[in-house]
């Protein structure tokens, strides 16, 4: 059991930015910051199953792919990397790439890595604030310039690059060909409202990602039986004994805590291991609670 105000690890990247406002006051003017990793305060605590990040892009990232659990374990890694993105900011014309325009054979994929044509074979799409993108392991993908996003993923840094815009970093042709599902991304279910305050964005084997929207000056109880991450994306409030605002993250492990919402309300992203949403995750101060209804296969709120 644990309730912690997450610490932040700064990761500097050539495609990063200098100004992280309003998400962080850390100065990147001397060396661009590409990622902020939220971590447990106790470095000796067991590694969590999930990793929560913020990414800031001034240039396109590499075209890359991540392994699934089976391949990762075959090369000595504990697990693969499935991830999801929530777009917090997108400049006009900002794009991401997820999947390919058409199916490629392993031979064709290898050739496209060698001649650089893989960059034009990826399926790019425009993004805007509030978009959610699910990236299963094996999906070839890239993130364009002018984006701030929150990423939730399996705790892994296993990345195989296929194209890197001339940055002269190593490409990983053999591994990329071995793990890639070299075709278009299959359609994914859209967001689903669970309660008035909860919207399920992604439900997968590895994690559930929700958005919560809490009204001004309201009080809530959060109940979880597993590791849970909360990232404040709008407004402010008090979680447990910690004042939180935009860009703050909390780690809660199999515990119960209170949320006191500020005068402007509070919205956040909540992530925890899947595959199903936690029915009793959030209870409001009006003694309304959430229960699972087998008849409708939904979470419903009832007065208690």
For the segment 104-161, what is each residue's pLDDT rounded down to a tens digit?
Answer: 999 999 999 999 999 999 999 999 999 999 999 999 999 999 999 999 999 999 999 9
| Gap between the Cα atoms of 101 and 125, Å rounded | 11
Q: pLDDT grade, residue 96 (50/70/90)?
A: very high
> Is the model's pTM score more than 0.85?
yes
**Helix/strand/coil (H, E, C) string of 237-297?**
EEECCEEEECCCEEEEECCEEEEEEEEEEEEEEEEECCCCCCCCCEEECCCEEEEEECCCC
> With pLDDT > 70 as the criterion, what percentage of the chain qualifies?
94
3-state secondary structure of 177: helix
- What would the mean pLDDT of 32-50 be, rounded to a whole number? 93
pLDDT attached to residue 43: 82
3-state secondary structure of 109: helix
Q: Taking the CA of residue 151 as centre, how many other CA atoms within 13 Å lie in the half-sphere pointing to its CB? A: 22
Q: pLDDT grade, residue 293 (50/70/90)?
A: low
Q: pLDDT grade, residue 295 (50/70/90)?
A: low
Share the mean pLDDT of the chain: 93
* Model confidence at 77: pLDDT above 80: yes
pLDDT attached to residue 256: 93
Tokens of residue 192, six digits: 């689903």
* Model confidence at 91: pLDDT above 50: yes
Q: pLDDT grade, residue 254 (50/70/90)?
A: confident
- What would the mean pLDDT of 21-41 be, rounded to a whole number? 94
What class, spelled out in words, does domain 192-303 have in CATH?
mainly beta
What class, spelled out in words, does domain 2-179 have in CATH?
mainly beta
Residues forming CATH 2.60.120.10 domain(s) in the chain? 2-179, 192-303
**H-helix or E-strand containing 126?**
strand 122-126
Catalytic residue among 40, 114, 161, 168: 161
Instruction: Kindly tell me the burial class for residue 234, based on how many C-beta atoms sit within 10 Å of its own C-beta (0-12, 13-18, 19 or more).
Output: middle
| Gap between the Cα atoms of 119 and 279, Å rounded | 42
pLDDT attached to residue 97: 98
* Model confidence at 13: pLDDT above 60: yes
Active-site residue flag, 161: yes
* CB 58 within 8 Å of CB 145: yes
Tens-digit pLDDT profile for residues 163-179: 999 888 999 999 999 99
Tens-digit pLDDT profile for residues 265-285: 999 999 999 999 999 999 988
Cβ contacts of 184 within 8 Å, gap of 6 or more: 99, 100, 101, 102, 103, 123
Distance in angstroms between the alpha carbons of the first and the last residue of the chain? 27
Cis previous bond, 298, omega within 30: no
């Amino acid at each position: 059991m644990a309730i912690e105000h997450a610490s932040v690890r700064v990761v500097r990247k050539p495609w990063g930015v200098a100004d992280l406002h309003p998400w962080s006051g850390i100065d990147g003017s001397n060396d661009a910051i590409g990622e902020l990793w939220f971590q447990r305060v106790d470095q000796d605590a067991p590694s969590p199953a999930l990793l929560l990040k913020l990414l800031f892009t001034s240039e396109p990232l590499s075209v890359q792919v991540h392994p699934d659990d089976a391949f990762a374990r075959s090369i000595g890694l504990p697990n693969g990397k499935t991830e999801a993105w929530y777009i917090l900011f997108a400049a006009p014309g900002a794009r991401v790439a997820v999947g390919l325009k058409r199916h490629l054979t392993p031979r064709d994929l290898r050739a496209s890595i060698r001649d650089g044509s893989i960059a034009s074979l990826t399926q790019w799409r425009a993004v805007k604030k509030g978009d959610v993108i699910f990236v299963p392991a094996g999906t070839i993908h890239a993130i364009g310039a002018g984006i701030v996003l929150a990423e939730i993923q399996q705790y892994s840094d296993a990345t195989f690059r296929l194209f890197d815009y001339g940055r002269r970093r190593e490409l990983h042709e053999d591994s990329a060909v071995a793990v890639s599902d070299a075709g278009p991304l299959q359609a994914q279910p859209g967001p689903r409202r669970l309660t008035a305050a909860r919207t399920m964005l992604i439900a997968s084997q590895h994690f559930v990602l929700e958005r919560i929207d809490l009204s001004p000056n309201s009080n809530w109880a959060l109940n979880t039986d597993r590791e849970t991450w909360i990232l404040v994306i709008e407004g402010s409030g008090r979680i447990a004994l910690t004042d939180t605002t935009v860009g703050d993250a909390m780690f809660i492990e199999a515990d119960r805590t209170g949320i006191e919402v500020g005068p402007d309300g509070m919205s956040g992203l909540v992530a925890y291991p899947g595959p199903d949403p936690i029915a009793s995750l959030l209870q409001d101060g009006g003694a309304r609670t959430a229960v699972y209804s087998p008849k409708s296969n939904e979470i419903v709120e009832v007065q208690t």
